[in-house]
Amino acid sequence: MAESVQRETAKATEFELFDPATGERLGSVPVLDKRQVEEAVAAARAAFAAWERTSFAERRKAILRACEVVTAEMDTIARLISAETGKPVGEAISMEIAPVLDLMQFFAKRTAKILKPRRISIGLYGLLGRRSKIVHKPWGVVAIIPAWNYPFSIPLGEAAMALMAGNTVVIKPAEATSLTGLLIGDIFQKAGVPKDVVTIVTGAGETGAALVAARPDKVMFTGSVATGKKIAAEAAKELTSTVLELGGKDPMIVFADANLKIAAKAAVWGAFCNAGQSCSSVERLYVERSAADELTRLIVEETKALKQGVGTDEDVSVGSMSSERQLRVVEDHVEDFRREGATIVTGGRRREGTLFYEPTVITNTTNRMRGMREETFGPTLPIAIFDTEREAAELANDSEFGLTASVWSGDRARARRVAEQIHAGTVTINEVLYTHGIGQTPWGGFKNSGRGRTHGAAGLFELVQAQHIHENLLAVLPDAWWMPYSPNAVKTFRAFATKFATGSILKTASMVPQLLRRIMELRRK
């Protein structure tokens, strides 16, 4: 955390943080106000001038040093993530630390290559002695506003990519996971990243809103659709560019010819890891009628065998939920399933007085039910039945969301055919959820699941502006389209429209005499 911001925080009010699984107090952090956030953005902008000039090799060293810090402090980091979110330490390592380390080393090593200036084809303009290339310029200050569910990997990964591209970064962590956010600042500091290149500003929604209003050059937001719309509206006032990573209602389609044992295990992990609080959780499962009983039986058997408890115990598979607010959404949805005639096969309860909600499997569901339409973001696995390939795709697409989806079948051609019909940013075949962990591939949603991409080359290009450098190698002659105009000029322009613009070299060659007449005319004038 930048020193200037730390000094200022003494004046700010604070809020306390608690372990959702045990209720233990974890600490407190300051709530930064508008002025402090503006100062942090101004300091980041000042730091940008020097950071932008660093070489890819220098940035690569800094990011790889940050990787070393994370690796050396892995267990402490995992325990903090677990304590702030309630997730098992194993998941903190497998779903946050390992993937973000992989992402960091990849972009540390590959950003220079991906962002390398490149010549682009300009078709027949090349015959006129022209050349074009694209170079990439960092935006400046990138504001990162993440959610609490992956409080380490998402902001750290986005920050590493933004830094490699030459930007400076201000992160406003989700309030419930502020300590993990501050830890990210410490990691970059230990890695020797200069002051104000990475700054953490703690606080709740108002601090986030202040960050968007403080005119960063780009906003990378991860969170709910409602907040995403507010941020897009606020950012639009200054034409600030945004990437929005929003909610999901991700369908899993299982055909009867799939390996049902594997599909059942995948469904259980996909629905219940992080207590279901993943944007790409399996939120609804559609199974072909003839396999429904067997798949449900396998899923229920797997689910009942899961140990739920405090995430710091290493043999715990399902932790607590992260907040009372989120748990209430789960209770509402399960209540609605009950009211609408669905069957709660296992689970369906919270452990009294706690934030532990039992992994819950629900059958006899339909797409009309709330828990099949709205994001539940909790440990529920509602199952519905389909009869045809077409119906499966239609049910999956019947949603305002489109983040990820999965198709399970032993028939690869069929699985690919169905995958291509699904409207979602990522569709996996015989696999669920984990591709956010592949930093090399683009991540982002269709429909209300978001705008723009993080990860992969597409995500890196969000963090730079493309600059086109165009060169005229024949600048001794005037361009045919310059002034003054004349009947001869209009004749030439017609030739451009009917010959040159067809892309045909032959047709273009036939207009050369007219072109020369026009250039001679311009030289005489």
| Long-range contacts formed by 423-429: CB under 8 A, 24+ apart | 423/397, 423/447, 424/250, 424/449, 425/449, 425/450, 425/453, 426/280, 428/404
- The C-alpha angle 157, 158, 159, rounded to 5 degrees, equals 90
Task: Indicate whether 370 belongs to the interface with ligand NAD (CB under 6 A).
Answer: no
Task: Indicate whether 5 belongs to the interface with ligand NAD (CB under 6 A).
Answer: no
The type of residue at 5 is: V
Choice from 175, 196, 250, 462 touching ligand NAD (CB under 6 A): 175
Which residue sits closest to ligand NAD, CB atoms considered? 208
Q: What is each CA distance from 428 to 195, 288, 382, 401, 411, in whole angstroms?
A: 41, 18, 19, 16, 14
In 10 A of CB 343, how many CB atoms?
A: 14
Q: Report the residue number, 41 or 147, with the smaller CB distance to ligand NAD.
A: 147
> For ligand NAD, which stretch binds (CB under 6 A), given 117-125, 182-190, 222-230, 332-340?
222-230
Choice from 90, 140, 151, 247 touching ligand NAD (CB under 6 A): 247
Task: Indicate whether 286 belongs to the interface with ligand NAD (CB under 6 A).
Answer: no
Phi-psi category of 294—alpha, beta or left, where left has phi over 0 and alpha has psi -120 to 50?
alpha
Shortest Cβ 99–ligand NAD spacing (Å): 13
Q: What is each CA distance from 315 to 24, 33, 91, in whole angstroms?
A: 21, 42, 11
Q: Report the residue number, 224 or 421, with the smaller CB distance to ligand NAD.
A: 224
Task: Indicate whether 230 belongs to the interface with ligand NAD (CB under 6 A).
Answer: yes
Q: In what order do the strands lie in the sheet with 404-408?
A: 343-346, 360-363, 380-386, 282-288, 250-254, 404-408, 426-429
Shortest Cβ 241–ligand NAD spacing (Å): 15
Contact predicate 138/167, CB 8 Å: yes
SS (H, E, C) 70-133: HHHCHHHHHHHHHHHHCCCHHHHHHHHHHHHHHHHHHHHHHHHHHCCCEECCCHHHHHHCEEEE
- Report the C-alpha gap between 81 and 74 in whole angstroms: 11
Task: Indicate whether 319 belongs to the interface with ligand NAD (CB under 6 A).
Answer: no
- Report the C-alpha gap between 306 and 364 in whole angstroms: 23
Task: Indicate whether 145 belongs to the interface with ligand NAD (CB under 6 A).
Answer: yes
> For ligand NAD, which stretch binds (CB under 6 A), given 18-26, 145-153, 383-391, 484-492?
145-153
Pick the catalytic residue: 39, 84, 245, 358? 245
How many residues bind ligand NAD, per CB under 6 A?
29
Q: Report the residue number, 85 or 222, with the smaller CB distance to ligand NAD.
A: 222
- Determine the 3-state secondary structure of 200 from DSSP: strand
Task: Indicate whether 224 belongs to the interface with ligand NAD (CB under 6 A).
Answer: yes
Task: Indicate whether 205 belongs to the interface with ligand NAD (CB under 6 A).
Answer: yes
Choice from 5, 92, 147, 179 touching ligand NAD (CB under 6 A): 147
- Report the C-alpha gap between 136 and 383 in whole angstroms: 47
Task: Indicate whether 253 belongs to the interface with ligand NAD (CB under 6 A).
Answer: no
Q: Report the residue number, 145 or 260, with the smaller CB distance to ligand NAD.
A: 145
* 67 is annotated as an active-site residue: no
> For ligand NAD, which stretch binds (CB under 6 A), given 4-12, 82-90, 142-150, 293-301?
142-150
Task: Indicate whether 342 belongs to the interface with ligand NAD (CB under 6 A).
Answer: no
Contact predicate 333/365, CB 8 Å: no
Task: Indicate whether 279 belongs to the interface with ligand NAD (CB under 6 A).
Answer: yes
DSSP assignment of 263-287: HHHHHHHHHHGGGG--TTSEEEEEE
Choice from 143, 258, 403, 460 touching ligand NAD (CB under 6 A): 403
Tokens 């979602």 found at: 424
Task: Indicate whether 209 belongs to the interface with ligand NAD (CB under 6 A).
Answer: yes
Pick the catalytic residue: 279, 288, 302, 375? 279
Q: What is the Cα Rg of the chain in Å?
A: 27
Choice from 320, 375, 405, 442 touching ligand NAD (CB under 6 A): 375
- Report the C-alpha gap between 443 and 28 in whole angstroms: 33
Task: Indicate whether 377 belongs to the interface with ligand NAD (CB under 6 A).
Answer: yes
- Report the C-alpha gap between 269 and 91 in whole angstroms: 11
Task: Indicate whether 401 belongs to the interface with ligand NAD (CB under 6 A).
Answer: no
Shortest Cβ 449–ligand NAD spacing (Å): 6
* 279 is annotated as an active-site residue: yes
Contact set with ligand NAD (CB under 6 A): 145, 147-150, 172, 174-175, 204-205, 208-209, 212, 222-224, 227, 230-231, 245-248, 279, 375, 377, 403, 445, 450
Please identify every residue annotated as catalytic.
245, 279
